Chains A and B, each alone.
Chain A
Amino acid sequence: MSNENIIECKDLNKYYSGVHALKNLSLKIKKDSVVGLIGDNGAGKSTLIKILSGAHAPDTGQIYFEGNEVKFKSTKQAMNLGIETIYQYSALIPQMSIARNIFIGREQTNFSLGSIGLMKSKTMDKAAMDALNDVELHLRSPDTPVNQLSGGERQGVVIARAMYFKSKVLILDEPTNHLSVKETNKVLRFVEGLKKQGVTSIFITHNLSHVYPIADHLCVMARGEKIADLAKEDTSIDELTDLLVNG
């Protein structure tokens, strides 16, 4: 973790048809850290992610990425800068192989007529396995169809994909929802691995016990406001639980 801020938000406000969904939110996210963003349903977590991922624009306020002010018009723009968002229901094609899923829409080709070309299957298979190994996911073959993987392994494939395409910030929206304890631990290990490789992750969850062990920083939200923003060494699981429950 460095002292540089990779993302800084200043006084973000967002209204949805009269509802004040995000109130004067300011947030600093340090490079190479894991930030746990916690809060109950309706706390404004999703609104914040949508703004950071470029899906929605804030009504007022500024976002700085690596020190420069940014105004995203689309998620593609955010992705090009290196902010990739992983939603609960991951963007994988169940019947297709791991390698093909990792390279969907960004296939490596030998030559191309327009945008069509022959795929370099071997190179892609190898790169896929390397990408999976980088997130400590050891699967037998890049040809395995994704529908034969467990929920945690699927999250691993999506994370490996984001890593391979050099994301700087990974926003994970409830990545451990509906996963067994064992699978949850796998996902947590992937996220820990990200930090080592210089990727900042924002881990959104309503389950404090999932994010607490791996987070460097914890940010609690309630009713559209940030009610606490603490480094892990300055807080405890009891204090955070109290904040979450009593807001």
Chain B
Amino acid sequence: MRPEISTFIMFIVIMTGFFIANDKFLSARNIRIVMGITPEYIIVAIGIAILMISGEFDLSVGSVFALVPMTMVQLVHQGIPPWFAIALGLSIGIAVGFVNGFITLRFGIPSFIATLGMLYIARSLTTVATGGFPPPFPHSLPNELFVFQFEVFRASLFWMLGVAAIAGIMLHRSNLGNWIYATGGDTGAASSMGIKTNNVKMFCFILCGFLAGFAGMIQTFRIEAPLPSQGYLLELESIAAAVIGGVSLFGGVGTIFGAAIGAILIRFLESGIIMARIDAEWFRAGLGSLIIISVVFNTWVVRRGENMVHKNNAEEDMKDENNTKEKKDEA
């Protein structure tokens, strides 16, 4: 059984649990509230998951999540046309991803360190860019296009689905996806088969930075206020989402579906705790337990699968041996 399937089972169990605690948990109103904010987190988790599958980390996504929209807003205040400001803002995300990748790969240091540095640098830049006060949201920005509230869902859900579809096809169906898994699975073996592993990793760093910035933009567009504190601790939550969804910390394993389910699970856990009238401060304890339980459960599921295969292999070997014996006896 695949790890993301066990995450899905856990998702169903937790949803049912909260539904029993309060049947309004699955009301259209609550789903509308939760799914209104979740797409942003899913998009970040997708970027992180792809990068982790390639064998690297990005701790700067939370800061990029704030820096990119802040850049857009300030550029518009400087008189730059909105769409041009959006393009420039998103290219900041790409640039941060590139710098993360360049430092990690060029100097051969762990991405954990390179992006930890970037976490502080990008957050600091965001605060400096506010000039002391969070600027007002310029309504010339086309925010409705990204966050318009339909009956139940927001436009951001469809943007997220688009991102997930493209990322899913890229990771699971294209040869580039094959190289990403190979690079994260065993960098040495992948490069001996002619894969340019550094280019593959660089692509994933850039994609991760871009998606973090894009998701941050959606959040700012939704709340119509660029806050320098936006995305605080999001890097850990995104890694948590990926890991809950079955992405391996060591690279080479994971799916887009898993990361998305992980992110949704975290948001519904938060909502469920509130709806069950538990003190909201328990959310972090719940998330912490969820991380540990899901990884233990995933590991157990995978081991069980492997043991079954080994048992089958052993049985077949026994059969082989019996056949050979019979042949010998006949001779």
- Give A contacts to B, CB under 8 Å: 76, 90-96, 100, 103-107, 109, 115-119, 121, 144, 147-148, 150, 182
Closest to B189 in A: A91
Number of residues of chain B lying within 8 A (CB) of chain A: 26
CB distance from A171 to the nearest CB of B (A): 14
Asked if A116 and B174 make an inter-chain contact with CB atoms under 8 angstroms apart, the answer reads yes
* 0/1 string, B176-197, CB within 8 A of A gives 1: 1111011001100110111100
CB distance from A121 to the nearest CB of B (A): 7
Instruction: Please indicate the chain B residues that have their CB under 8 angstroms from the CB of A117 in the complex.
Output: 174-175
**B309 adjacent to chain A (CB < 8 Å):** yes
Instruction: Please indicate the chain B residues that have their CB under 8 angstroms from the CB of A182 in the complex.
Output: 317
> With A91-B189, A148-B309, A182-B317 in contact, do A96 and B252 touch (Cβ < 8 Å)?
yes
**B144 adjacent to chain A (CB < 8 Å):** no
Closest to B186 in A: A93
* 0/1 string, B152-185, CB within 8 A of A gives 1: 0000000000000000010001111111011001
CB neighbors of A among B233-268 (8 A): 248, 252-253
Top 7 A-B residue pairs of the complex, sorted by shortest distance between their CB atoms? A93-B185, A107-B175, A105-B194, A105-B193, A91-B189, A95-B252, A148-B309
Instruction: Please indicate the chain B residues that have their CB under 8 angstroms from the CB of A104 in the complex.
Output: 178-179, 182, 190, 193, 195
Closest to A87 in B: B192
Main secondary structure of the interface of A (DSSP, over half): loop
14 contacts between A and B (CB under 8 A): A91-B192, A93-B182, A93-B185, A93-B252, A95-B252, A105-B182, A105-B190, A107-B178, A109-B174, A117-B175, A118-B174, A119-B175, A147-B306, A148-B309
Instruction: Please indicate the chain A residues that have their CB under 8 angstroms from the CB of B181 in the complex.
Output: 93, 95-96, 100
Instruction: Please indicate the chain B residues that have their CB under 8 angstroms from the CB of A93 in the complex.
Output: 181-182, 185-186, 189-190, 252
Asked if A119 and B306 make an inter-chain contact with CB atoms under 8 angstroms apart, the answer reads no
Asked if A96 and B175 make an inter-chain contact with CB atoms under 8 angstroms apart, the answer reads no
**B313 adjacent to chain A (CB < 8 Å):** yes
Asked if B194 and A118 make an inter-chain contact with CB atoms under 8 angstroms apart, the answer reads no
Contact partner, A94, options B169, B175, B185, Cβ 8 Å:
B185
A95-B252, A109-B175 are known; give 13 further A-B pairs, CB within 8 A.
A91-B192, A92-B189, A93-B182, A93-B186, A93-B189, A96-B181, A104-B182, A106-B193, A107-B175, A109-B174, A119-B175, A147-B306, A182-B317
Asked if B185 and A95 make an inter-chain contact with CB atoms under 8 angstroms apart, the answer reads yes
> With A105-B194, A182-B317 in contact, do A121 and B189 touch (Cβ < 8 Å)?
no
Contact partner, A121, options B173, B176, B194, B309, Cβ 8 Å:
B173
Main secondary structure of the interface of B (DSSP, over half): helix
Instruction: Please indicate the chain A residues that have their CB under 8 angstroms from the CB of B192 in the complex.
Output: 91
How far is B179's CA from A93's CA once the two chains are assembled, in angstroms? 11
Asked if B190 and A119 make an inter-chain contact with CB atoms under 8 angstroms apart, the answer reads no
CB distance from A148 to the nearest CB of B (A): 5
Instruction: Please indicate the chain B residues that have their CB under 8 angstroms from the CB of A147 in the complex.
Output: 306
Instruction: Please indicate the chain A residues that have their CB under 8 angstroms from the CB of B176 in the complex.
Output: 116
Asked if B178 and A100 make an inter-chain contact with CB atoms under 8 angstroms apart, the answer reads yes
Instruction: Please indicate the chain B residues that have their CB under 8 angstroms from the CB of A106 in the complex.
Output: 193-194
CB neighbors of A among B123-151 (8 A): none
Instruction: Please indicate the chain A residues that have their CB under 8 angstroms from the CB of B248 in the complex.
Output: 95
How far is B184's CA from A25's CA once the two chains are assembled, in angstroms? 41
How far is B310's CA from A93's CA once the two chains are assembled, in angstroms? 19
* Residue among B182, B253, B317 facing the most chain A CB atoms (10 A cut-off): B182
Instruction: Please indicate the chain A residues that have their CB under 8 angstroms from the CB of B193 in the complex.
Output: 91, 104-106
Closest to A114 in B: B176
How far is B194's CA from A25's CA once the two chains are assembled, in angstroms? 31
Asked if B178 and A118 make an inter-chain contact with CB atoms under 8 angstroms apart, the answer reads no
Closest to B185 in A: A93
CB distance from B250 to the nearest CB of A (A): 9
Asked if B175 and A95 make an inter-chain contact with CB atoms under 8 angstroms apart, the answer reads no
CB neighbors of A among B169-227 (8 A): 169, 173-179, 181-182, 185-186, 189-190, 192-195
Asked if B186 and A94 make an inter-chain contact with CB atoms under 8 angstroms apart, the answer reads yes
Contact partner, B175, options A90, A91, A92, A116, Cβ 8 Å:
A116
How far is B193's CA from A91's CA once the two chains are assembled, in angstroms? 7
Asked if A119 and B179 make an inter-chain contact with CB atoms under 8 angstroms apart, the answer reads no
How far is B194's CA from A116's CA once the two chains are assembled, in angstroms? 15
> With A91-B192, A104-B190, A105-B194 in contact, do A96 and B174 touch (Cβ < 8 Å)?
no
How far is B184's CA from A220's CA once the two chains are assembled, in angstroms? 41
Instruction: Please indicate the chain B residues that have their CB under 8 angstroms from the CB of A119 in the complex.
Output: 173-175, 177-178
How far is B179's CA from A144's CA once the two chains are assembled, in angstroms? 18
Asked if A76 and B194 make an inter-chain contact with CB atoms under 8 angstroms apart, the answer reads yes
CB distance from B209 to the nearest CB of A (A): 20
Instruction: Please indicate the chain A residues that have their CB under 8 angstroms from the CB of B194 in the complex.
Output: 76, 105-106
CB distance from A91 to the nearest CB of B (A): 4
CB distance from A58 to the nearest CB of B (A): 22
CB distance from A192 to the nearest CB of B (A): 17
How far is B176's CA from A100's CA once the two chains are assembled, in angstroms? 12
CB distance from A132 to the nearest CB of B (A): 15
CB distance from B76 to the nearest CB of A (A): 33
CB distance from B204 to the nearest CB of A (A): 14
How far is B195's CA from A115's CA once the two chains are assembled, in angstroms? 12
Instruction: Please indicate the chain B residues that have their CB under 8 angstroms from the CB of A144 in the complex.
Output: 309
* Residue among A96, A115, A147, A150 facing the most chain B CB atoms (10 A cut-off): A96
